Chain A
Amino acid sequence: MGLEENLPSGILLTNLEKFVNYSRSASLWPATFGLACCAIEMMSMGGPRHDAARFGMEVFRASPRQADLMIVAGRVSNKMAPVLRRIYDQMSDPKWVLSMGVCATSGGMFNNYAIVQGVDHVVPVDMYVPGCPPRPEMLLDGILKLHAKIRGETFVEQGSK
């Protein structure tokens, strides 16, 4: 961010870091990126039963420019990979990627020529959620772990990503 060079180090900046990280984690807006069956569980996570609004992330943004988190829900085919990368590039910093389900994580049971064997070949992934598909609680667990990870981040780490 370049902020840490201009401000004196010490208590001010650490507290600022904590405050900024808390704000980021408490309103993490996901981009809609449902690719397959996992998207159904992702929608269920946003719905009233599991209610992602409890964590300030009920607004699934249709525009990547307004989103902070890309939940890659489903298998990524080779044809979809460049699209996924473009959407990731269009998201504004800071941004995070959550790989939902085994297909996005490693290709899962689709070990074949059509499927990218893990979305981390295309974009950097911050959290892997296994399961086929993961139940909404499983996804919430991954998201909460990601929240904890964001709260522990420093500005330097975020800038170097």
Chain B
Amino acid sequence: MEFLGPILFLLLVVVLVGIALNTTVLGRGMAMPLRQMLKKPSTSQYPEQPRPVTPRFHGRHQLNRYDDGLEKCIGCELCAWACPADAIYVQGANNTLEARWSPGERYAEDYQINYSRCILCGLCIEACPTRALTMTHDYEFSSDTRRGLVYTKDMLLAPAPEGAPDTPHRDKDVRERGHNYYGGKAVSPPGLHGGDHLPATARTMSRASQVLPMAPESEADWGDAPGREED
């Protein structure tokens, strides 16, 4: 029973140190780094192991394509109009029978984003009517020149999907595929098919068949509604 003495003494020391660490101001201050030493460091090892960004992170833009390789951008410039920093430049042009870049009449001949102005706010993404413009998770685009921050269309455009040809396509091939791009409402370039503005995809899917007949709009239909004269 002679070993009981040291054990009791050690126990007493541990208890006293524990009380000292928990009750005194100095003790609590000393306990803090002791606790932190046991924790895993929270430093991100950036260049080697970058941390994943959130799913909706606003990174570099991308111009998307349809599955058949046609570009979604129709050159409407709504993104450029929405941009608060005037960072987007769009030059639209007409699709032709020989060279079709996008369904519908127009496509973006030139598309530039100036990342030395862009604040990555995403208003252009909200403005885009065809979801042609979206944002990626790429954020590593520092450059040592201002020119290197101006991204042109070939840098922004997504690569053509597997097996799909790069743009431009021939209008005939696009029609044969028979895709329904905008609910069949995308029209051909004016004057291509006798100016009838039929859908670009299939002649059988005429626009008129999809639109409900309009209610007749004549003076008689209003009847003698009250307040009509005051207007």
Contacts and interface: CB of A to CB of B under 8 A. Distances in A.
Nearest to A127: B144
Interface stretch (A21-29, A64-72, A137-145): A137-145
A149 B149 contact: no
A116 interface: no
B181 to A, nearest CB: 33
Interface SS, A side = mixed
A17 interface: no
B177 interface: no
* Chain B interface residue bracket vs A: 20 to 34
Contacts of A138: 139-140, 142
A145 B42 contact: no
B141 interface: yes
Contacts of A106: 114, 116-117, 146
A144 B117 CA distance: 22
Given A128-B116, A128-B143, A129-B142, A111 B149 contact: no
B119 A50 contact: no
Given A106-B117, A142-B142, A49 B43 contact: yes
Interface residues of A, number: 33
Contacts, number: 90
A115 to B, nearest CB: 12
B116 A141 contact: no
B68 to A, nearest CB: 33
Nearest to A51: B43
B44 A111 contact: no
B110 interface: no
A144 B50 CA distance: 14
Interface in B24-60: 41-47, 50-51
Interface of B: 41-47, 50-51, 84-86, 114-121, 139-146, 148-149
Interface of A: 48-51, 54, 102, 105-109, 111, 118, 120, 126-132, 134-138, 140-142, 144-146, 149
Given A48-B41, A128-B148, 17 more contacts: A49-B42, A50-B44, A51-B43, A54-B45, A102-B119, A106-B116, A106-B146, A109-B117, A120-B146, A128-B143, A132-B118, A137-B140, A138-B139, A138-B142, A141-B47, A141-B140, A145-B142
